[in-house]
Amino acid sequence: MRLNKGLFQSYKTYPEKIVQFGEGNFLRGFVDWQVQKMNERADFNGSVVVVQPLENGMVQMLNNQDCLYTLYLQGMKKGEAVREHEVINSISRGLNPYKEYEQYLKIAEQSEIRFVISNTTEAGIAFDENDKLEDKPQNTYPAKLTALLYHRFKFFNGNKEKGLIIIPCELIDRNGEKLKEMVYKYVDLWNLESEFINWLDEANIFCCSLVDRIVPGYPRDNISKITEELGYEDNLIDVGEQFYLWIIEGPKEIEREFPVGKAGLNIKFVDDMTPYRTRKVRILNGAHTSLVPVAYLCGLDTVKDSVEDNLVGQYLREIIFDEIIPTLDLPEDELKEFANDVLERFRNPFIKHYLMSIALNSMSKFETRDLPSLLEYLDRKGTLPNKLCFSLAALIEFYKGKRGDEDIALKDGQDVLGFYESLWSKYDGNDNSLRDIVINVLGYKAIWKKDLNEIPGLTDKVSDYLIDIENLGIKNAVRKVMNK
């Protein structure tokens, strides 16, 4: 039997308060789960009406199951591997504006609607000059949103109490500002009246947000076993990790209507999300990028194995706590708590995260994720961070394309791969030749945007570490740098 409200005896209905653009794995495993927690713990008393942002989507599948689905959360929780599941009952209905456009617009007429949340992928917040207000529907998400807001403005005669709080979850920097910019471009394109612009400005709030949870989605590999475990069929099973974080940049009074604190959820309303974005990029993403070449060359293949390895795991912890955290501006206890959460996530036994899947475009990743920490450490401490510099040397070794006798399947732009192939083809086995490679890599302005050889001491330090890797072997070289 398929999951439906007849089968799920705890089924409840709530007033629709949230319009959600997107029905995919992430929003169902992140936002809709949190709405359920607010209903259970904080008397939010609200549900989500889901709008399908693309012509081909899953709202029909949602409606076929009375918008119920099972969410599995699995990962490390307070030091233990935890796997748990529950039926999510926070979505009221799904709408396909490509077939139900008039019903879509009627959402704007509902007085209790207060929030708009979206995840239409990074490409979703875009502008198409061919979109028209009369289209049913418009092509882009910002155009659909503008049409919805305009309909609400007209229906409620510009009532300032009927504005909406708009929180995009797309993974682009300053997503709220970019969405607002697109909306205003459509206002201009469609020559909408100045009274509507005033209503947009005064009655609506566009928030920037930062989301964090890994949601792999439908468990195709073991669906038969899960179906047997559940005792019912569910075409919309979703799987996510235990950890989650939502940073929302906006007025703190929003929390009176969106009671995340009362529900005990890991959501922060902040005046400026920039430090939190920097924290995520430097600690989570930076740890990944600095780990990959060292761990892979040491013979490890997954993030979990790397963190649990006595040598490499300690190396990673020292990079994070000794060299990255000192470059960040949030309170130290917050940074350490986040770093410990990151390390716990890396140990998730339910996710096999291969190092080589992270290794794609490692050069540009080091430039955006690790080089800022290296430079900030030098600026604050007056000395270069040993282990970040070692990771840079290991990255150069990694692009040699060999792990012992095994070829490394390097994945990067052809210009980068050709650059390294040319450099390493000239290596003649002596230390001066290695130093020449380092000088060329550090001078590769197409990646670094500058000549890193101009940073005092960096050329010598990276050269020394690359020489150690070649002459001592990677594991002995790691031990040596950790003893400094």
Read out DSSP for 414-447? Answer: HHHHHHHHHHHHT--SSHHHHHHHHHHHHT-HHH
> Cβ distance 426 to 433 under 8 Å?
yes
Phi then psi dihedrals of residue 437, to 5 deg? -60, -45
> Cβ distance 108 to 149 under 8 Å?
yes
Beta bridge partners of 479: none
Identify the residue whose tokens are 């797309």: 170
> Cβ distance 447 to 367 under 8 Å?
yes
Torsion angle of C-alpha atoms 417, 420, 425, 431, degrees rounded to 10:
-160
Residue segments in the chain with a per-residue pLDDT below the cut of 50: none
> Cβ distance 235 to 1 under 8 Å?
no
pLDDT of residue 36: 98
Name which of 241, 277, 276 is nearest 75 in CA terms. 241
Percent helix / strand / coil, the chain, rounded to 5: 50, 15, 35
> Cβ distance 84 to 22 under 8 Å?
no
Phi then psi dihedrals of residue 95, to 5 deg? -120, 140
> Cβ distance 399 to 364 under 8 Å?
no
Alpha carbons within 13 A on the beta-carbon side of 181: 9
Q: Where are the beta strands (DSSP E) in 194-285?
A: 205-206, 208-212, 238-240, 245-249, 267-270
pLDDT of residue 79: 84
Long-range contacts (CB closer than 8 Å, 24 or more residues apart) made by 370-376: 370/286, 370/289, 370/290, 371/448, 372/282, 372/327, 373/282, 373/286, 373/323, 373/324, 373/327, 375/455, 376/327
Name which of 358, 372, 289 is nearest 324 in CA terms. 372
Beta bridge partners of 71: 86, 238
CA distance 431 to 444: 20
Residue 398: alpha-carbon gap to chain centroid: 26
Phi then psi dihedrals of residue 257, to 5 deg? -95, -20
Sheet containing strand 69-77, strands side by side: 80-88, 69-77, 238-240
Cis check: omega of the bond before 137, within 30 degrees of 0: yes
Question: Secondary structure of 353-370 in the HEC alphabet?
Answer: CEHHHHCCCHHHHHHHHC
> Cβ distance 93 to 50 under 8 Å?
yes
List of residues 6+ apart from 297 with CB closer than 8 A: 394, 397, 398, 403, 469, 474
List of residues 6+ apart from 429 with CB closer than 8 A: none
Torsion angle of C-alpha atoms 264, 269, 270, 276, degrees rounded to 10:
60
pLDDT of residue 428: 92
